[in-house]
Amino acid sequence: MLRVKKGLALLMVLVLAMSLSLFGCGTSAPSGSDEPSTTDDQPVAAKTELVEFPATSEALAALEAGNVEAVVFDEPVAVEQVANTYTDAEIIEVIPTGEQYGFAVSKDNPELTAAVNWALGDIEKDGSFAPIFEKYFPGVSVPKLTTSATPASKPDLTAIKTVTAGTLTVGSDCDYPPFIYMEGETPAGFEYEILQLVGEKLGLKIEYLAPQAFDSILASVSAGTKMDIGVSSFTINDVRLETVDFCVPYFDSNQAVVALKSKGYTSVEDLRGKKVAAQSGTTGADWVRENLM
């Protein structure tokens, strides 16, 4: 009798094991189901898709066309764009990333970096920087350009090395108002005006190459054979400092998330599992990867 009972118990265990194997447990979706799988009734969060574009203007056009749900890019540019160009869009959240912009210079040209730092400090001292800053960014505190990296005295300008003698050759995407953009065939904007003053201080003619792809500029600056300086609202960070040097920062910024007003989004959390756009090679794209994917 004991053996019979043991045999029945073993049979029941085998039947239960086969049932679990065939039908599973919990609420996991069957294989091939379109529903996201769950464990213990907890849904797996859908992944956000980052869609990258060569230019922020292209990302915003995709937003307007309904191909993406939001665009992440620099706050001051977002403010300008939703006020003047993409008026059907709005900033749904500002991300306090605490970024600073600087001009990029080759690590092989420390003399140029020092000279640009001196010139920036000098346009602060002579009062020519503040009016330009306030023209483009009214109500924003004017940053200090004089730092520990600013030479105490005017450097030997004859020691400056440039790709073309007497000329500071500039690489920019020229597609980031109000910082730098094209007005017809001519660059314009805050960074353009500041660099013109720097050129005057250094006795160098400023010459812009044709607009460059944003994510190619730092490599070209590093090589030092095509351009002397990169100007495209570059955030100074440790990754980029491995490739190039930067002048003293001239602008403090954060990231912003822009979506169409008609969507009714109120925060970045509303965008999880959706398509979010950013410009290739930017800190905006980095933020999406690190925080939404």
Distance of alpha carbon 274 from alpha carbon 288, whole angstroms: 11
Domain ranges across the chain: 2-43, 49-98+255-291, 103-249
pTM of the model: 0.82
Please list the pLDDT of the chain residue by residue as tens digits (293 residues).
434 444 444 445 444 444 444 444 444 444 444 444 445 565 666 789 999 999 999 999 999 999 999 999 999 999 999 999 999 999 999 999 999 999 999 999 999 999 999 999 999 999 999 999 999 999 999 999 988 889 988 999 888 999 999 999 999 999 999 999 999 999 999 999 999 999 999 999 999 999 999 999 999 999 999 999 999 999 999 999 999 999 999 999 999 999 999 999 999 999 999 999 999 999 999 999 999 99
CATH fourth-level superfamily of 103-249: Periplasmic binding protein-like II (3.40.190.10)
